[in-house]
């Protein structure tokens, strides 16, 4: 199963890209996807605690079970206004 | 710029007199306060209008800056704003909310955020406006990057 992962704000600088495709086993959780992402981009791992994670347009907890075609977004705390 | 007209949050015509009217604009265009004020509509039952303007300061900490560059995940930002409007509708008797957030480069002294809340009384308008801005800073995916002189 593949999930597309999008990076925003300075996470784009930390990864050097705005978007990747990542393969995970069927039934994987967001936490398992994040583990693979952190192996690929070690600089992101340091941001884990403050990182916000959305699937589609909604925030999801780390135990969210991914579905094929899910669009996952990773970004730092928001700062609008 | 021309702002979008009000959109009732419910489509049932029988509810139009009581539902929250909402107008949300996320734009790279400068915020036109005069146009926004001209477009205000109020019913006889409304006694309070609060509006807030967020303006870019000339410094971030001790660093002088010339502008802030705002980035948004626009579709999610719009969705999250509407979730906040839904909660406001449940908590306070607010008649309308209009919100404009500018993105892209916003120079020092220029507004990046304009929020207006119209309600029957001042208490609920102040409370809803304060809550909306606090929650926006917690959940709406917009980020800023200082542009140094």
Per-residue pLDDT at B18 exceeds 90: no
Residue A78 with chain B: CB contacts under 8 Å:
137-143
CATH domain A2-75 topology? Ubiquitin-like (UB roll) (3.10.20)
pLDDT mean over B65-83: 98
Give the pLDDT confidence score for residue A16 in this predicted structure: 96
ipTM of this complex prediction, to 2 decimal places:
0.95
d(C-alpha A9, C-alpha B120), whole Å: 39
Q: Name the phi and psi angles at B82, rounded to 5.
A: -65, -30
| CATH code linked to domain B19-148 | 3.90.1170.40
Domain locations in chain B as residue ranges:
19-148
Q: Average pLDDT, whole number, for chain A?
A: 96
Give per-residue pLDDT as tens, A19-31. 999 999 999 999 9
Q: Residue A78: which of B75, B142, B145 has the nearest Cβ?
A: B142
Q: Are A53 and A71 in contact (CB under 8 A)?
A: no
Per-residue pLDDT at B102 exceeds 80: yes
Give the pLDDT confidence score for residue B91 in this predicted structure: 97
Taking Cα atoms as reference points, which of B98, B84, B96, B102 lies closest to residue B26? B102
Domain locations in chain A as residue ranges:
2-75
**C-alpha torsion A11→A13→A18→A23, nearest 10:** -70
pLDDT mean over B16-34: 88
Please tell me which residue, B2 or A57, carries the higher pLDDT value: A57
Token representation of residue B136: 């926006």
Q: Residue A76: which of B80, B138, B143 has the nearest Cβ?
A: B143
**Minimal C-alpha gap between B111 and chain A (Å):** 9
Give the pLDDT confidence score for residue B10 in this predicted structure: 43
């Amino acid at each position: 199963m593949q999930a597309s992962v999008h990076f925003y704000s300075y996470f784009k600088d930390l990864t050097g890209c705005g978007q990747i495709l990542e393969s995970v086993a069927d039934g994987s959780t967001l936490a398992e996807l994040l583990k693979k992402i952190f192996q690929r981009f070690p600089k992101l791992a340091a941001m884990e605690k403050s990182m916000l994670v959305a699937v589609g347009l909604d925030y999801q907890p780390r135990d969210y079970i991914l579905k094929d075609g899910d669009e996952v977004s990773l970004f730092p705390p928001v700062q609008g206004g | 710029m021309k702002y979008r007209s009000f959109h009732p949050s419910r489509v049932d015509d029988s509810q139009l007199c009581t539902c929250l009217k909402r107008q949300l604009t996320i734009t790279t265009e400068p915020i036109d306060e005069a146009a926004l004020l001209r477009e205000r509509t109020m019913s006889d039952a409304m006694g309070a209008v609060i509006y807030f303007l967020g303006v870019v300061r000339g410094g971030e900490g001790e660093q002088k800056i010339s502008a802030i560059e705002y980035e948004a995940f626009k579709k999610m930002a719009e969705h999250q704003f509407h979730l906040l409007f839904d909660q406001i509708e449940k908590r306070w008797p607010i008649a309308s909310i209009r919100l404009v957030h500018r993105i892209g480069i916003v120079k020092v002294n220029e507004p990046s955020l304009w929020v207006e809340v119209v309600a029957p009384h001042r208490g609920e308008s102040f409370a809803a406006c304060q809550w909306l801005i606090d929650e926006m800073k917690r959940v709406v995916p917009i980020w800023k990057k200082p542009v140094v002189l």
